Amino acid sequence: MQTDPSQKYRPFPPVPLSDRRWPGRTLTHAPSWCSVDLRDGNQALAVPMNVAQKLELFQALVRCGFQEIEVGFPSASNTEFAFNRLLIEKGHIPDNVTVQVLVQAREDLIERTFQSLAGARRVIIHLYNSTSPAQRRVVFGKSREEIKAIAVQGARWIQERLHRLPGTDVRLQYSPESFSATEVEFAREISEAVMDVWRPTPERRMILNLPDTVEVAMPNVYADQIEWMCRNLRDREALIVSLHTHNDRGTGVAATELGLLAGADRVEGCLFGNGERTGNLDLVTVALNLYMHGIHPGLNLSDLDGIRRIYTRCTGMGVPPRHPYAGELVFTAFSGSHQDAIKKGLAEWASGGRTHWDVPYLTIDPADIGREYSEVIRVNSQSGKGGVAFLLEDKFRIELPKDLQREFGPIANDLVDALGREVSAEELRDMFWKEYVERTTPWRLVHFHADGVDGVFDCRCTVVRDGQELSLTGRGNGPIAAFVHALAGAGVPKFEVADFRQHALETGEEASAIAYIQVQGADGRKRWGVGVDTHIELASIQAVLSALNRL
C-alpha cells in the first residue's frame, strides 16, 4: 500500500447540487424491477449458463414476478441468439413479461439484434455506449462530440429498423455506460441527444438507465447525480429513470436506495448480487429492505431458499452464509443473550399481543420468506439456556420448566464446548436424555402400582438399587407421595418433591408423556429428574428416581 495514497488516488468531485432534496425523503412505493441476471449476471460467470440453465433461471425469475428481464446480448454469441429465439418461438414469455436485449451502437450488432427479436410480443431494446473521461480517453480515443455521435448513430440505426418489428410493442432504453464516472452535464447532453432521435413522450416513455458501472464514490454522490439528472433533464416526464448499480465499494444497495430517494423509477440488478467483479445490485436485498418497512416490493420472495437453490444450480455461484436475508446464518443466533431475546420476542409475537413485527435481532419474520424458526436458533458453546430450551421445545415439544432450563443449560454448554462445534437439535435431545431420562443408577424402576381411595394412595413397587431388587410399599396423598414414602421406608435419606410438571410428548399410537420432578435433599440441594413413559403416572415415578440418581 502507498504510504500517502493521496499521491496516487483522489476523492471524487462533488456534484453541483447544494439544494439536494433526496435526504429528506422516504420511500413510499416499490420501483419497477428489471432482472439482468441472464445478461450482466451471465457475462460475469467463468462458465456462462447454457440454454437450459438460462431457461430454468428465466422461469424462476418469472415466478418471482419480474416483468422486465434482460435476457441477453443476442448479437454477442450464438448461444445468446438461440436463447432469445427459443423464448420467442416456444412461447416461454408470459403476456405480462417484457424481455430486454442489450446492444452496442454498432450497425451489424443492431441488425442481428433485430433478427433475434422477430415475432416477439413485447421487447425493450437497450442501447449503450460508454461516456466517462477514462473510457473516452483510453478505450475510444474520442472527444465528447465523437462519443455523442456514437450514441446518436446507434439510436438512429435502431429507430430506422423499428418498422421491421410489426406487431411487437418495442420500448427503447439508453444507458450512458460509466455514467457515475461521467460529468453530469455531459451525461445530460448525450442522453438528450438520444432523446432527440427517439422522441419519447409521457405516453410512450423511454428508459434512461444511469449506471453506476463502477462504484467510484459514496452512495450519496450517486444520489446527487441521479437527482441532478432528474431535475435538469428536459422532458423528465417522458422518461423512466432507471438505476443500475454495481458493488465495487460494497455500497450497491445503498446507492440504489438513495438513487430511488433521488427520483428514479426503476431498478436493474441481479439475484443475490451476482454480476461483474463485486457484482450487480442485489435485487433481493433491496426488495426485502422495502418489505421490512411495510412496502410490498411487488416480487414474490416467499420461497427464498428455493430461489437460492435454482440460482446456485444455474449460475454455479454460492450465496455467502451472512448474505442479507438469503444467507444460511442470517436468521441464526448462537449467542445466548441473542437467543434469549429472540425466544422471548417470538413468544410475544406468537401470543398475538402486537400488531407490528418487533422481535429483537430479527429484521423480518423468517417465515415470510419461507425460512423456518428452527434455523433461527442454533447451539454452539456460545449459546445459553434459551437456545437449548428453544430447540428442544421447537423440535421435540419438550417444554423444560424455567428452573430446569437453568440447570440443563450449563450442562449442555459444557458438553458442546468439549465437542468444539455446533450441535444439532437431535444431539441436544440425546444429551438431555443421557443426563436425565436414562439415569438408571443407582436406582431403577421395575414395577409400580398404586390404588387410591378417598385421596389416600397405597403403592406397591419393585426397584433395583445397585443391582439388587427391592420390593417396597408406601402410602401418601397421591402416587408420587406414596412412592416417596416407600423409598423412605427403604432407608433412602430424606428428600422432598419441590416442583413437578408433566405434559404429553407425542400423540397417536406413539403417545407418551414426560414428567419433570425437582427434589430437594435434607442438605437443601435441589436436582431435577425427568421420566418418559407411555403412562403418565409411570413417567412421574421414573422422574423421581432420575432426580434421586442425580442428587
Residues that bind ligand KIV (CB under 6 A): 40, 102, 128, 175, 177, 209, 211, 213, 244, 246
* Least Å from the CB of residue 244 to Zn ion: 6
Among Zn ion, ligand KIV, none, residue 390 binds (CB under 5-8 Å by kind): none
* Least Å from the CB of residue 97 to ligand KIV: 20
* Least Å from the CB of residue 177 to ligand KIV: 4
Looking at residue 486, its amino acid is A
Which residues in the 30-89 window bind Zn ion by CB under 5 A? 40
Could you tell me if 194 and 147 are in contact, meaning their C-beta atoms sit under 8 angstroms apart?
no
Among Zn ion, ligand KIV, none, residue 37 binds (CB under 5-8 Å by kind): none
Among Zn ion, ligand KIV, none, residue 200 binds (CB under 5-8 Å by kind): none
Among Zn ion, ligand KIV, none, residue 209 binds (CB under 5-8 Å by kind): ligand KIV
* Least Å from the CB of residue 149 to Zn ion: 23
Which residues in the 463-502 window bind Zn ion by CB under 5 A? none
Q: Which is nearer to ligand KIV, 268 or 537 (CB)?
A: 268
Among Zn ion, ligand KIV, none, residue 225 binds (CB under 5-8 Å by kind): none
* Least Å from the CB of residue 271 to Zn ion: 14
d(CA 230, CA 63): 32
| Ramachandran area for residue 31 (φ above 0: left; ψ -120 to 50: alpha; else beta) | beta
Among ligand KIV, Zn ion, none, residue 177 binds (CB under 5-8 Å by kind): ligand KIV
d(CA 385, CA 408): 7
Within 8 A by CB and 6+ apart from 58, the residues are 38, 69, 71, 87, 92
Q: Residue 3, class by beta-carbon neighbours within 10 Å (0-12 exposed, 13-18 middle, 19+ buried)?
A: exposed
* Least Å from the CB of residue 270 to ligand KIV: 10
Burial 139-155 (b: 16+ CB within 10 A, else e): eeeeebeebbbbbbbbb
Among ligand KIV, Zn ion, none, residue 297 binds (CB under 5-8 Å by kind): none
Q: Which is nearer to ligand KIV, 57 or 102 (CB)?
A: 102
* Least Å from the CB of residue 434 to ligand KIV: 58
Helix-helix angle 219-232:252-261, to 10 degrees: 30
Looking at residue 251, its amino acid is T
d(CA 446, CA 455): 25
Among Zn ion, ligand KIV, none, residue 242 binds (CB under 5-8 Å by kind): none
Q: Which is nearer to Zn ion, 279 or 479 (CB)?
A: 279
Q: Which is nearer to ligand KIV, 213 or 251 (CB)?
A: 213
Q: Which is nearer to Zn ion, 34 or 425 (CB)?
A: 34
Among Zn ion, ligand KIV, none, residue 336 binds (CB under 5-8 Å by kind): none
Q: Which is nearer to ligand KIV, 257 or 435 (CB)?
A: 257
* Least Å from the CB of residue 269 to Zn ion: 9
Could you tell me if 104 and 67 are in contact, meaning their C-beta atoms sit under 8 angstroms apart?
no
d(CA 252, CA 246): 5
* Least Å from the CB of residue 431 to Zn ion: 51
Q: Which is nearer to ligand KIV, 246 or 338 (CB)?
A: 246
d(CA 317, CA 301): 19
What value, to the nearest 5°, has the Cα angle with vertex 539 and ends 538 and 542? 85
Among ligand KIV, Zn ion, none, residue 128 binds (CB under 5-8 Å by kind): ligand KIV
User: Number of residues in contact with Zn ion, rule: CB under 5 A?
Assistant: 1
Q: Which is nearer to ligand KIV, 209 or 383 (CB)?
A: 209
Q: Residue 254, class by beta-carbon neighbours within 10 Å (0-12 exposed, 13-18 middle, 19+ buried)?
A: buried
| Ramachandran area for residue 325 (φ above 0: left; ψ -120 to 50: alpha; else beta) | left
Q: Which is nearer to ligand KIV, 183 or 399 (CB)?
A: 183
Q: Which is nearer to ligand KIV, 157 or 436 (CB)?
A: 157
- Count, in order, helices (H) and strands (E) of the chain: 17, 14
* Least Å from the CB of residue 131 to ligand KIV: 10
Q: Rounded to whole angstroms, what are the CA distances from 368 to 226, 297, 358?
A: 33, 13, 14
Q: Which is nearer to ligand KIV, 175 or 339 (CB)?
A: 175
* Least Å from the CB of residue 150 to ligand KIV: 14
Q: Which residues are 443's β-sheet partners?
A: 465
Q: Which is nearer to Zn ion, 279 or 529 (CB)?
A: 279
Among Zn ion, ligand KIV, none, residue 289 binds (CB under 5-8 Å by kind): none
Could you tell me if 198 and 172 are in contact, meaning their C-beta atoms sit under 8 angstroms apart?
yes
Among Zn ion, ligand KIV, none, residue 48 binds (CB under 5-8 Å by kind): none
* Least Å from the CB of residue 126 to ligand KIV: 7
How many angstroms separate the first and last alpha carbons of the chain?
Answer: 64
Question: Edge to edge, what strands does the sheet with 456-465 contain?
Answer: 443-453, 456-465, 468-476
Positive/negative CA dihedral, 487, 492, 494, 499: negative
Which residues lie near Zn ion (CB under 5 A)?
Answer: 40
